[in-house]
Amino acid sequence: MLLASLLLKLGGYGFVRYSLVLFPIGANFFGPIVVTLGTVGVVYASLVTLRQLDIKRVIAYSSIAHMNLVVVGLFSGTQQGVEGAIYLMLGHGVVSTGLFFCVGVLYDRYHTRMIDYYSGLVVVMPTYTIAFFCLTLANMGFPGTPNFLGEILIFTGIFERDMPVTLFAATGIVLSAVYSI
């Protein structure tokens, strides 16, 4: 929980606080390369997440995909992109912590993290299932959640600079909905 909620955000904080402020010429020069690598990272991490059978790994790889999207927003060179990245870091910190907590509850009850063994969970734990479902919706960026606000601002910011990158990164968001459901 600490890794996904705090430690992954330290890299983004370092970019915001130091790289973009102290080295703006370098950030502008290397920005397109970093945005390209971040976009590829979003899609690649989303594809890897689709193959996971362990629910804890699904959340961990989805966190990596979201942090790649944060990098895309930070190096978009627009105010919307940077603000969206900050919103996504804050929202993802809360959502991923909640999801890891939910997985911990499931592991304590069932002693396994394999997704196949969780069928019929709504019958046994209905309130828990609603909370887990709401966190899952927030993880995939459902409208009305902080992740949605961050993602839409990032896509607005990167769309001003490079439309093909926006379309390629949006496939990662579609894949996010697939592996979340």
> What is the tens place of the pLDDT at every residue in 23-70?
999 999 999 999 999 999 999 999 999 999 999 999 999 999 999 999
**pLDDT tens, position by position, 90-144:** 999 999 999 999 999 999 988 888 888 888 888 989 999 999 999 999 999 899 9
Could you give the number of structural domains in the chain?
1
Report residue 157's pLDDT band, with 50, 70 and 90 as the boundaries.
very high
The residue type of 125 is: M
Q: Give the Cβ contact number of residue 178 at 10 Å.
A: 11
Report the pLDDT value the prediction gives residue 36, as an integer from 0 to 100. 94
Strand, coil or helix: 50 = helix
**pLDDT tens, position by position, 78-90:** 999 999 999 999 9
The CA dihedral of 160, 17, 9, 176, to the nearest 10 degrees, is 0
What is the separation, in whole angstroms, between the first and last Cα of the chain?
A: 21
Report the pLDDT value the prediction gives residue 107, as an integer from 0 to 100. 92
- Assess whether pLDDT exceeds 80 at residue 3: no
**Lookup: tokens for 37:** 């690598």
Beta carbons within 8 Å of 161's beta carbon, 6+ residues apart: 35, 76, 77, 78
Report the pLDDT value the prediction gives residue 32, as an integer from 0 to 100. 93
Beta carbons within 8 Å of 17's beta carbon, 6+ residues apart: none
CA angle 69/75/79 to nearest 5° reads 95
DSSP-assigned letters across all residues of 103-171: HHHHHHHHS--BGGGGTTHHHH-HHHHHHHHHHHHHHTT-TTSHHHHHHHHHHHHHHHH-HHHHHHHHH
Domain that holds residue 60: 2-180
Q: Are 110 and 55 within 8 A, CB to CB?
A: no
Report the pLDDT value the prediction gives residue 116, as an integer from 0 to 100. 81
Report the pLDDT value the prediction gives residue 174, as an integer from 0 to 100. 92
- Assess whether pLDDT exceeds 80 at residue 149: yes
